[in-house]
Amino acid sequence: MGGFFGVAKKKACVNDLFYGVDYNSHMGTKRAGIVTVSRDGIFTRSIHNIENSYFRTKFEGDLDTFSGNSGVGVISDTDAQPIIINCRLGKFAIVTVARINNVVELERELLLDGQHFCEHSYDIVNPTEVVATLISQGKDLVDGINNVYRRVQGSCSMLLLFDNGDVVAARDKLGRTPVILGRHIDGGARAVTSETCAFPNLGFEIDHNLGPGEIVRFNADGFTTLQQPLDKMQICAFLWTYYGYPPCEYEHRNVDEMRYSLGLDMGERDETEVDFVSPVPDSGIGMALGYAQGKGVPYLRGIVKYTPTWPRSFTPSTQERRELVAKMKLIANRSLLKGKKVAFCDDSIVRGTQLRDNVSDIREAGAEAVHVRISCPPLIFPCTFLNFTSSRSEMELITRRVIADLEGGQNANLDKYADHTTPEYAAMVEQIRVRLGLDSLQFNTVDDIVNAIGLPKERICTHCFDGSSYY
């Protein structure tokens, strides 16, 4: 998905920038970059590939080369960033958290308009450079950013670092990804982040949540609103169920509280006999704790992540290697599982490959019964708004393969399979259960997700569950 961090201080910012960006590392696994600007307007930039390493190890050796009191950085699942541009609106560095579905069409239109591009990777133009070019076409900065909002199909949040040290933050027009401003508790510094877990250890506290399409400009002394929030919002529900780090909050709702609430409610209504509940680590932990409380059964770790060498999942280039990584990082705890009926809580089922392998290991370890409880509804519609997964086809989703089998080779009646009250939905869940070798399988519903987040349904994107969102 991607995440960013920016900071403006009255003194050197590089340490805050380095650790602030690092606290967004769980949001992406491909590229990372940071840039600072000195008092005399000189930018210093560094970009690294982080597919097979970590942000800190890649960038720590670069830190002595940076100077200045303001900087921005990004963890990207797509392109190499930041981009530095000089145009009639000023000289600035830019980072984005974006998905641009029409990037090829925009490149063609801009080339015909006399623009040119310098950055290419994977045989396409760098999407962040496209965003910078669209901004440069505006009559002023706000008009330029709104030009991005008007023309990009997908989503785009961004940070711009100007040569005078000011930082401009702009949230996606539908607020699909969060942008949060922070204020240092001792004064003299401001920061902006995708993930609020970046703030506490650096001495920042939440100051302002940008609304959809809101644009602000800030420096060490404070911020100025350049554009008020727009009316509509479609913040991604998956931020809470999967992507977000437990201590983070979006729209004033903590991630772990939301996950605990989902588990608590499911545990209270689940009549299945189990000896204990276990999370599928790490994103299943919050739900499992809530489920244990709601059902009144012990919380034990029937599956454990091997953190010394698998602290997080990188994204290998092939599906075969991704499956191997998924298997190798988790170990079944045989002493706990033997002869037990266990409920396992997980965030979602995408392809089903990892869970199927986990179930096989759990059975081999001697578990008497394996029940799986999923915090979100079945994923039926691929996301076209965020860089959500590395899936190349909707048929990689286990739901779509099952639906095709049930519908005689066609992916038909999707609205019925998305509705948890229909016979079609029940048949789909039963087939998934059989394919994964489970004794029982339950998902939370869209209503459960909405209630746990605490926002009106129309302000939450639940598209991957029910196909309801829009550009």
**Cα separation of 429 and 432, whole Å?**
5
pLDDT of residue 194: 98
pTM for the full predicted model: 0.94
pLDDT of residue 407: 96
Q: Are 87 and 141 in contact (CB under 8 A)?
A: no
Q: In the chain, where are the structural domains located?
A: 3-233, 254-466
For the segment 286-316, what is each residue's pLDDT rounded down to a tens digit?
A: 999 999 999 999 999 999 988 776 555 445 5
For the segment 167-211, what is each residue's pLDDT rounded down to a tens digit?
A: 999 999 999 999 999 999 999 999 999 999 999 999 999 999 999
Q: Domain 3-233, what fold?
A: Glutamine Phosphoribosylpyrophosphate, subunit 1, domain 1 (3.60.20)
Pairing of strands 330-332, 204-209: unpaired
CA 320 to chain centre: 23
> What is the architecture of the domain spanning 254-466?
3-Layer(aba) Sandwich (3.40)
For the segment 210-230, what is each residue's pLDDT rounded down to a tens digit?
A: 999 999 999 999 999 999 999
CA 434 to chain centre: 30
Q: What is the dihedral of CA 111, 112, 115, 118, to 10 degrees?
A: 20
